[in-house]
Amino acid sequence: MTQHVGIIDLGSNTARMIVVQYQPYHSFKLVEEVKENVRLAHNVGADNQLQAEPVAMAIETLRMFSNFCRALGVNEVVAVATSAVRDAANQASFLAQVKEETGLDLRVLSGDEEAYYSYLGMINTLGVSNGFMFDIGGGSVELALVRGRGLAHTTSLPLGTVRLTEQILRSETPTKAELKALDRHLDEALAELDWFRPQGSKLPLIGVGGTVRNLAKLEQRAQRYPLDIVHGYTMSLQRVDEWATRLSKLNRNEREQLDGLNNDRADVITAGVLLIRALMQRCGADSLWICGHGLRDGIFYEQFLRGSQPPLLGDVRQFSVENLARIYGYNVVHVAKVRELSLALFDQLQSLHGYGAWERELLEAATVVHDIGVAVNFYDHHKHGLYLILNSMLNGYTHREMAMVALLTRHHRKGGVTDAGLGGVLAEGDLERVGKLSALLRIAEYLERSKSQVVQSVLCKIEKNQVRVKVQAVGDASIEIWDANRKTNLFRKVYGVEMLIE
């Protein structure tokens, strides 16, 4: 049964809402996303009193979110608040005002709960098992250590971007004294964390939140990166350090001119990137992984996998591929046969291509999603499929892997093999891989031309200048064999031998 849930996150800097349509344990898709910059933590002084103007802005935003859910017919709404409300001396009166004026029961998360939900959002969408993690908000940063996909340590520190900017980096362009003061402040705050330090083997640092997403966008624009995706993107410590140094020398107006920077973060991005650099140095990470999913997603997975403790997907990659196929109404039986035939060809021709388990998994993923473009239009659905994959995300896959699955989908019907503008994320030899795997997928697709599973299996015999494929069928497979033989040109080109299907 299809359900809808609205999840509202009132942060210290931004209020965000997502609406997700889902069938528990089966599939889901994001149907709405709204955000508003409320700066609830703005001008909070030593007395920790939320100020009247940001409070009014926050309540008006929450009212809008609540009304939006009501208009969409979303009956289940989960609303949470984080650091600014958690630390507020006037928390009780604020919550009462929210309830009275919006009807929302705002749940205030503890620092550990905030870290936990950010971890759930990350672990269910990135293909990592071990690493340090942070989620930077306006008022605090949540830190965690992940071991074997489990949560080993968490803590919350009052090191949010708004807080650090208003308390330390007050100048339009940070002064040397302010930068030194910030470094000392961060060193002192992190010094007490015995577990947030190198763990023997180097672990990546995984970043969650708007600050790290914006940093990734700055880097991608600077590098002219071909994908408009930050989830799963990686940066080196050297590049983070270079951005921290550059941002420290710019005033707000100059930062606003940077390609890729959201204007509503121009005043706080410097503190955020300096904090990221300090975290990388502290835990000894050489690489920064950007996670585009966090607290709201973690709350959703708790709903989606209700009853599971902890609510973790067993295989992020497999679920992501199947979820994408389900969203676009794939033909389950047809896909199962194309997968079976593709993998049979791959296994029997291993001596020709020399590939292993990694390439086999990419081919299998492509068999599942190869026809999703039909949801747009049958004509050129191979091209539509590439677009849908690159704009829907395959969680757990690297950008390189996602590009290869998209290219396999793009080339499963006809034509020669190109990189479709994705060469910037491919490695040496990948286009050859795409060609050889696409040739197998294309043959399998046409052996299942009528979508009736008339072709049951294939038996390949490798001869000197030819591969002979013997088809076992139930019923008349003449159309499938005829059409598949017409589609062997790519195989001949990339393998250098003929293929005869009989």
Q: Which domains can be identified in the chain, with CATH numbers?
A: 3-108 (3.30.420.40), 112-296 (3.30.420.150), 317-451 (1.10.3210.10)
The dihedral sign for the CA sequence 196, 315, 369, 32:
negative
Rounded mean pLDDT of 322-332? 95
User: What's phi and psi for 25, nearest 5 deg?
Assistant: 65, 0
Strands 466-473 and 150-157: unpaired
CB 382 within 8 A of CB 412: yes
CA-wise closest residue to 236 among 284, 287, 272, 274: 287
Reply yes or no on whether the pLDDT at 48 is more than 90.
no
Q: Given a cut of 90, is residue 287 above it in pLDDT?
A: yes
- Residue 310, preceding peptide bond in cis (omega within 30° of 0): yes
Amino acid 336: pLDDT: 97
Share of the chain above pLDDT 90, in %: 88
Q: Which two three-digit tokens encode residue 215?
A: 């940093």
Predicted TM-score (pTM) of this structure: 0.93
The 3-class secondary structure across 52-119, one letter per residue, is: HHHHHHHHHHHHHHHHHHHHHCCCEEEEEECHHHHHCCCHHHHHHHHHHHHCCCCEECCHHHHHHHHH
pLDDT digit string, tens, across residues 424-469 = 999 999 999 999 999 999 999 999 988 999 999 999 999 989 999 9
pLDDT of 40 reads 87
Q: Is the pLDDT of residue 392 over 90?
A: no
Q: Are 420 and 390 in contact (CB under 8 A)?
A: no
Rounded Cα gap, residues 112 and 295, in angstroms = 12
pLDDT over 80 (residue 130) = yes
Residue 200, pLDDT score: 76
pLDDT digits (tens, 9 = 90+) for 51-101: 989 999 999 999 999 999 999 999 899 999 998 899 899 999 999 999 999
Residue 188 has pLDDT above 90, yes or no: yes
